[in-house]
Amino acid sequence: MTLAERIENSKTSIFKAVFPNTTNHYDTLFGGTAMHLMDEVAFITATRFSRQIMVTVSSDRIDFKKPIPAGTIIELIGKVNHVGNTSLKVNVEIYIEQMYAEGRELAVHGDFTFVAIDENKKPVQVIK
């Protein structure tokens, strides 16, 4: 399988409803909850790409462009955007959709770096 095919096959998309128990006093999604969901999608994407043990080693700039209100649907999309020797980067975007109207808009995006490790927690090549 080519690198481009691996990247395409590992693209991950997850939908969630934003309920009041995940929002702050402004009735918008907690930033920490958004980051948690983004890291989860990034982990799934990295694992689907490598089929190895992957651990998060950093999150790069995460930009919150729009607040995510309660009562909306969000889609998180993860895609590998860089492959190194033992690490890879995954870009994650969160889109907002109204439940009862068409359209969507980008709310948050950021990059997460993962390292492939062996059973002794030592870095190994991402692509064998």
Smallest Cα–Cα separation from 41: which of 84, 75, 3? 75
CA distances from 120 to 27, 103, 123 (A): 44, 47, 9
Q: Is residue 121 part of a domain?
A: no
Domains held by the chain: number: 1
pLDDT at 1: 87
Average pLDDT over residues 82-105: 97
Place of tokens 């927690």: 121
Average pLDDT over residues 15-20: 97
pLDDT at 29: 98
CA dihedral 105, 57, 8, 12 (to 10 degrees): -50
User: Which residue type does 47 have?
Assistant: T
In the sheet with 87-98, reading across from the earlier edge strand, the strands are 12-17, 72-83, 87-98, 104-117, 53-64
| Residue range of the domain that includes 25 | 3-116
Backbone dihedral angles phi then psi of residue 46, each to the nearest 5 degrees: -60, -40
Q: Is residue 127 part of a domain?
A: no
pLDDT at 20: 94
Q: Is residue 58 part of a domain?
A: yes
Q: Is residue 125 part of a domain?
A: no
The CATH number of residue 16's host domain is 3.10.129.10
Q: Is residue 52 part of a domain?
A: yes
Average pLDDT over residues 9-22: 97
pLDDT at 127: 84
Q: Is residue 83 part of a domain?
A: yes
User: Which residue type does 109 have?
Assistant: H
Q: Is residue 126 part of a domain?
A: no
Q: Is residue 122 part of a domain?
A: no
Confirm if 109 and 51 have CB atoms less than 8 A apart. Answer: no
pLDDT digits (tens, 9 = 90+) for 20-78: 999 999 999 999 999 999 999 999 999 999 999 999 999 999 999 999 999 999 999 99
| pTM of structure | 0.95
The span from the CA of 56 to the CA of 120, in Å, is: 16
pLDDT at 128: 67
